[in-house]
């Protein structure tokens, strides 16, 4: 059987031959042509349903970058690269683009009124997730055939019937029979959120009432699960004061994106971009 690495095609060997990159015409920004090879390299960062769309997105990104670099140089900006936590210095062109946008794009400050309005209109977004204090007993089949799975199911059903809703009996059965490491904690899975368990197990847990053990074992790829829900903890709406800064940051980031797009469109209108459309430039 191939290893996981081999099955995903990362075991070495010659790289597969790739089709030549698409080309849909020259892209020129204020007389400066964007290298077609650079567009071909940029395409990898713009997944799209077809080659033409990917090329357009890549060409637009490089055209915008060229517009910004030209404007930064026109304004006489000198690159002042920043260093990240790993000690890697920012490329000079990246520094120029960042510095230009920091200087020219000013987002609107999100005041109390705007933040409160957003909170009131989207209050459900600020609900903490429901939690499920749950436990299970995993009965693993002793083989891959259906007979082994049927035998494991029968064992799981027998355990479920014997322990019933008795918490102490469930804990003892988990320690004695469960094939999961959680057996050492009486089968406890802790407080789990939706999405943390396989779908069938999650659904089985959510179908139970507090203090109830499932009478029907649930199957997953791991085996058969006897499930128990100790208690459900409903999510709570966070108060406005707890999320006010988060909302302000989000609104200001949104404002910055809008203002940056407007600034770039204005540069394109004042200049001459051929071969690709900069959104808003023709407005």
| 104-122 pLDDT, tens digit each | 999 999 999 999 999 999 9
Picking from 237, 247, 257, 12, the residue whose alpha carbon sits closest to that of residue 127 is: 237
Name the pTM for this structure: 0.64
Question: 131-233 adopts what CATH topology?
Answer: Chitinase A; domain 3 (3.10.50)
| 118-154 pLDDT, tens digit each | 999 999 999 999 999 999 999 999 999 999 999 999 9
The values of phi and psi at residue 176, to 5°, are: -85, -35
Q: Is the CA virtual torsion 165, 166, 171, 173 positive or negative?
A: negative
The full set of domain ranges for the chain reads: 20-80+91-126+238-283, 131-233
The tokens describing 73, both together, are 């140089």
Picking from 274, 280, 268, the residue whose alpha carbon sits closest to that of residue 25 is: 274
| 155-199 pLDDT, tens digit each | 999 999 999 999 999 999 999 999 999 999 999 999 999 989 999
A 10 A CB-CB count for 183 gives 19
pLDDT band for position 25 (cuts 50, 70, 90): confident
Long-range CB contact pairs, 29-37, < 8 A, 24+: 29/63, 29/66, 29/67, 29/70, 29/271, 29/272, 29/273, 29/274, 30/66, 30/67, 30/70, 30/271, 30/272, 30/273, 31/272, 32/66, 32/70, 34/59, 34/62, 34/63, 34/66, 34/275
Instruction: Find where tokens 């650079």 sit.
Output: 38
Going by C-beta distance under 8 Å and a sequence separation of 6 or more, which residues neighbour residue 80?
95, 99
A 10 A CB-CB count for 180 gives 19
Q: Do 20-80+91-126+238-283 and 131-233 show the same overall fold?
A: no
Q: Is the distance from CB of 252 to CB of 107 less than 8 angstroms?
A: yes
Whether the pLDDT of residue 19 is over 60: the answer is no
Question: 20-80+91-126+238-283 adopts what CATH topology?
Answer: Triger factor/SurA peptide-binding fold (1.10.4030)
Q: Extract the runs of DSSP E, i.e. beta strands, from the chain.
A: 28-29, 32-33, 131-139, 188-192, 212-213, 218-220, 223-233, 273-274
pLDDT band for position 4 (cuts 50, 70, 90): very low
Alpha carbon distance, N-terminus to C-terminus of the chain:
59
Whether the pLDDT of residue 3 is over 90: the answer is no
- In whole angstroms, give the CA distance from residue 12 to residue 16: 11
pLDDT at 2: 38
């Amino acid at each position: 059987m191939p290893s996981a690495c081999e099955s995903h095609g990362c075991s070495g060997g010659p790289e597969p031959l790739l089709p030549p990159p698409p080309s849909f015409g020259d892209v020129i920004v204020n007389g400066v042509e964007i290298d077609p090879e650079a567009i071909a390299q940029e395409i990898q960062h713009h997944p799209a349903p077809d080659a033409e769309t990917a090329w357009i997105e890549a060409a637009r990104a490089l055209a915008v970058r060229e517009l910004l670099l030209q404007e930064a140089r026109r304004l006489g900006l000198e690159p002042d690269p920043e260093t990240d936590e790993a000690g890697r210095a920012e490329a000079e062109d990246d520094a120029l683009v960042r510095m230009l946008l920091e200087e020219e794009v000013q987002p609107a400050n999100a005041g109390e009124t705007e933040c409160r309005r957003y909170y009131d209109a989207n209050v459900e977004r600020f609900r903490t997730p429901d939690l499920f204090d749950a436990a299970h007993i995993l009965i693993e089949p002793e083989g891959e055939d259906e007979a082994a799975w049927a035998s494991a199911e029968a064992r799981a059903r027998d355990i479920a019937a014997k322990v019933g809703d008795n918490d102490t009996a469930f804990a003892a059965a988990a320690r004695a029979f469960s094939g999961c490491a959680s057996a050492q904690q009486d089968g406890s899975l802790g407080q789990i959120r939706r999405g943390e368990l396989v779908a069938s197990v999650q659904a089985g847990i959510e179908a139970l009432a507090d203090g109830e053990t499932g009478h029907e074992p649930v199957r997953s790829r791991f085996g058969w699960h006897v499930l128990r829900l100790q208690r459900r903890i409903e999510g709570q709406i966070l108060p406005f004061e707890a999320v006010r800064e988060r909302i302000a940051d989000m609104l200001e980031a949104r404002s910055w994106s809008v203002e940056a797009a407007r600034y770039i469109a204005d540069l394109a209108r004042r200049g001459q971009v051929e071969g690709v459309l900069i959104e808003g430039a023709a407005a």
